[in-house]
Chain A
């Protein structure tokens, strides 16, 4: 009998990393926004993500709906547990989402508010997502398949560090995206900030790597048992980091972004390996959380056909908007 639960775990894992990579760079552009060299650069930065951000964010909605469809327990434990954090995440996404349209409609006197909404909303959303990662590593207090913890269990020094880590990580995706998509002053500036951001990301990476096994014996056992093959994951992440430093030094335009995506993928796989097979740590596994087999199958039938089509036309839209975004260029 085919193990649909395992297939769904792979699909959801794929959806989540797609979201992280794709919305990651456009949130990152928002995080870097206030630090850009001048108002003209800010316009170019916004232009570089305006045609694609909506599609990128749709992967988050897929994450929500897909979890409800395939692993409802994850949905019905994590969202109550993260209740106030989810509100902050959504408030951030709302403000930065409407800023794309509103900033340009605004009078000069109020334009600054929407610039702030774009930057602040992006940063808040990234911080909230990073805190979710930290809260996930810590685990959730459950009884009888229901969350029973408090309103602020998710907010700890550890989760704040992971939150800052993700803000820096998304900013790195944003800066390397700008290296690829822009030229002149903005590109110069992006080349300068990228190594600094990477150093910050690596610092948080190290702190979390030492901190996690100390707070979580399950993770410690996973990494220090005989499963040496998983050490290839952090090794891959560090290799990607080295590639970014080198590629920026050599003024490569595409490689820094690709290597940053690699850094994210290896880190993400390392996180999954730490918790496997628990999806609602510390109590419930994939199989505890799975929906009914007939539901998994019904959804799988469609998704197997539709997701390749979605990837196809998404790739096509990126191709339509390929190349450098220039100062003063509107896509109209």
Chain B
């Protein structure tokens, strides 16, 4: 059986980058949260902040570790499977990715060691400084990687010369047209992801009556964040969409499932795009709304897929549906923020109820939304690696055969299955084990003198069982 190295390489990249991306998007938000908690504890001395910081640092350690190892894979994918792309774009992407390593990765790695293991080895102010440096590192990292990614969507400041791209303007290439929107969109996504995870876990602990004081504080903080950031993200997404309409109209046409350029285009709520027939089946839409959103006029003209040659069209169904999943979850997030506000105004935010049972379910939502968003934008760029300049086929490694690509795809699949199933299980156990109320300095090390050093710390055996129903009146 023959495998197509191009198709397998695309599947492999989608697979390894998806498994990688869910960790940074969580740890970027969580790193800032930990730095904030450390800062609050440093300033007020309230032990609740220290309890929260210690617990979430343990979670951070496991998530960051999985992000690091899957990130090392990413830094070699360009060369192994897309070596022509690497060679052609190296003059720009090489320096950008190198800057990410020297300005962000080293910063994160070095200060993470101090954050995780140095609590009793350095003064408290230095420990806080380490937490801030880790958070800063995660941001610098996302800056550079989104520069690189945005440039692949809206390349600027470069020109071809002897088969290689040469940079004519670094400022134009770095601050390329889609970068500001993508960066803001991802930064908000990171904060929302961190907020939903912390809110979900805090709500679950409140249901269990575990560490009530600290978890009330955490829940309250996160719901304020969600209340403001979820709508802000919707606005930001709209700006990003308008930018995409300007520079990548085919992607927007696929997002809207719009085959023909038309005035007064409807917003489709449901459709089954049929790429072969170049039309939708079972369309259900709201008249004129897509035009209104995209052009801010009810009869505005929205470009359709008919303006792009068939072999340059993105896979419409993937883009169409992943976009809808992302937007649907985004709306649910806004609703959660409002629901929390209503409970808060009625003074019932901390009374265990349906809301607190729903929040843990919502932990999965930001991750699904982020992946769906990336599927929308990356599939929407197809068939281009660098939009309008380098196609997937041109970028592929020439010496790569179908079976080699298949072997590594199966290999990564097997490795990630073991590592991520275990990681997910250990994170679950860590959360199930609950928080410890030890003071900084009076570490639980004394109780477990022979344990090996692990940033995640031990699973706390003292987590109380859930109270019986009826105790919450």
Contacts and interface: CB of A to CB of B under 8 A. Distances in A.
Interface of A: 40, 42-43, 46-47, 50-52, 54-55, 57-58, 60-62, 64-70, 72-73, 75-81, 83-84, 86-87, 90-91, 93-95, 97-98, 100-106, 145-149, 151, 291-292, 294-295, 298-299, 302-303, 306-307, 310, 313-314, 316-317, 320-321, 327-332
A178 to B, nearest CB: 15
Given A68-B78, A292-B167, A314-B110, A87 B458 contact: no
B142 interface: no
A104 B75 contact: no
A330 B408 contact: no
B61 interface: yes
Given A52-B113, A100-B65, A83 B408 contact: yes
Given A103-B452, A321-B117, A69 B69 contact: no
Given A72-B90, A292-B167, A331-B117, A90 B450 contact: no
Contacts of A62: 98, 101-102, 105-106
Interface residues of B, number: 83
Contacts of A329: 445, 453
A102 B119 CA distance: 21
A114 to B, nearest CB: 8
A69 B110 contact: no
B107 to A, nearest CB: 8
A147 B83 contact: yes
Nearest to A93: B72
Given A87-B412, A98-B423, A102-B426, A294 B167 contact: yes
Of all A-B residue pairs in the complex, the 3 with the closest CB atoms, nearest first, are: A79-B79, A69-B94, A72-B90
B87 interface: yes
A69 B399 CA distance: 22
A101 B62 contact: yes
Given A55-B110, A100-B65, A147 B398 contact: yes
B400 A146 contact: no
Interface string B374-402: 00000000000000000000000111110
Contacts of A61: 71-72, 75, 101, 105
Interface in B125-144: none
Contact of B90 (A40, A50, A77, A291): A291
Contacts of B454: 50, 100-101, 103-105
B110 A68 contact: no
A86 B76 contact: yes
A294 B166 contact: yes
A79 B90 CA distance: 14
Given A43-B452, A46-B452, A147-B399, A317 B110 contact: yes
16 contacts: A46-B452, A50-B455, A65-B100, A68-B78, A79-B80, A83-B399, A84-B404, A91-B411, A103-B452, A105-B459, A147-B398, A291-B91, A299-B94, A313-B107, A320-B113, A330-B443
Contact of B113 (A76, A321, A327, A332): A321
A297 B419 CA distance: 40
A294 B426 CA distance: 47
Given A43-B450, A69-B97, 5 more contacts: A69-B98, A79-B80, A83-B404, A84-B404, A291-B91
Given A146-B399, A292-B164, A43 B94 contact: no
A108 B46 CA distance: 36
Contact of A149 (B68, B122, B399, B457): B399
B319 interface: no
Interface string B438-465: 0000011100011111111111000000
Contacts of A57: 68, 72, 109
Contacts of B400: 80, 83
B422 interface: yes
A175 to B, nearest CB: 19
Contacts of B231: none
Contacts of A42: 452
A113 to B, nearest CB: 9
Contacts of B229: none
Contact of A84 (B65, B407, B444): B407
A332 B445 contact: yes
B90 A68 contact: yes
Given A145-B87, A320-B114, A330 B99 contact: no
Nearest to A77: B83
A236 to B, nearest CB: 30
B86 interface: yes
Given A51-B118, A68-B98, A298 B90 contact: no
B429 interface: yes
